[in-house]
Amino acid sequence: MTPPAHPAARDSAALGAALDDPVELTARLCDIPSVSGDEARIADAVEAVLRELSAGGGPELEIVRNGDALIARTSLGLRERVLVAGHLDTVPVEDNLPTDRRVLDGREVVWGRGACDMKAGVAMQLAVARALRAPTRDVTWVFYDHEEVDASLNGLGRLAADHPQMLAADLAILGEPSNAGIEGGCNGTIRVEVTTSGVRAHSARAFMGVNAIHAAAPILAALADYEERTVTVDGLDYRESLSAVGISGGVAGNVVPDACTVVVNHRFAPSTTGAEAEARLRELFAGFDVTVVDLSEGARPGLDRPTAQAFADAVGAPVAPKLGWTDVARFSALGVPALNFGPGDPLFAHRADEHVPAAEVLAASSALLAFLEPTAPAPAWADEDAR
């Protein structure tokens, strides 16, 4: 049979042929380049697959496209709704495409850009969508663009603004790499610039000026003396941090500087609001000029909610706190408890040797399917779970 000539048709055909093998599907998704800002091709392919699934015997899907983001929802009238989301974009390629199947430390892996962050999570979504026949919970599948760049471009943020009613759910699961375990919620993050001022003078007559860099010493001392807190939220221990992440000042080698700026990043527990975190920093650096340059609220894991606890029980592994910030916070802002759950070690995200273990792709896919349809027939990939 002659393969489809149009690139979009070829891509969707390649993905469709691998829906029963999440590992191969991961590789095929990776081999569709989708660096942030160039997601149209992969969005086209995923949309075509979703439309085929909707017409192919599984639950019918209401599909909405917004730019290069997609929402696909079942409407079975079930008591609960679970949303599963994943981003389609990657950071730039580092001579790590096309993908390769390798054995590392005795494990089969898919090696290549996007394998870990997060085409394996997208493969999990599509493979489970293909396997579902009679889910016990309504499902919303979300695929979005521009996650790896400025937050103002984020496709999930655009969907939340344009279609908030379509993101309503009892639980959101974000397929970010978490070693096929659950990481609940996430810490919030705030970045501020703490600035000192002085008076310029020739360094040969430094006594005529006021050195703004010297004036930053109390800022650095406050950071060094800061005692990090561990805060328990919904049974998970979130460790906070406060760090100087940048410092700038100086005019020339023979000039006493009249300005110095220390950039400070604070990661705060999800029980703390952004306003509270800002107030904390302003109190710590009282007497200095403090300017907020970035602020993202944290997200509670929602493990006090029955649906979230049921998912944790289905996965059968301890839930860990997410110390970094992820898009689960966007769901939390909509009142939806959210968890991170996906194959891959986040420590390999964005690296030239990015990869994902095949066994984790299969395990995560199996766990998600078992949660959404406990009585589902064993999928085609079940016999390979030991890989």
What pLDDT sits at residue 5? Answer: 56
Q: Which domains does the chain have, with CATH numbers?
A: 7-186+299-384 (3.40.630.10), 188-296 (3.30.70.360)
Residue 245 is classified by DSSP as E
Residue 211 has pLDDT above 50, yes or no: yes
pLDDT digits (tens, 9 = 90+) for 33-62: 999 999 999 999 999 999 999 998 789 999
What pLDDT sits at residue 57? Answer: 77
Instruction: Let me know the angle formed at the C-alpha of 95 by 91 and 144, rounded to the nearest 5 degrees.
Output: 25
Contact 65, 47 (CB under 8 A): yes
Write down the mean pLDDT value for the chain.
93
Catalytic center residues: 89, 147
Burial class (CB in 10 A: 0-12, 13-18, 19+), 23: buried
Q: How confident is the model at residue 365 (pLDDT cuts 50, 70, 90)?
A: very high
Q: How confident is the model at residue 248 (pLDDT cuts 50, 70, 90)?
A: very high
Six token digits for residue 241: 């941090």
Which three-class secondary structure string do you get for 187-204?
Answer: CEEEEEEEEEECECEEHH
Give the rounded percent of residues in the chain with a pLDDT score beyond 70.
Answer: 97
CA distance 335 to 329: 10
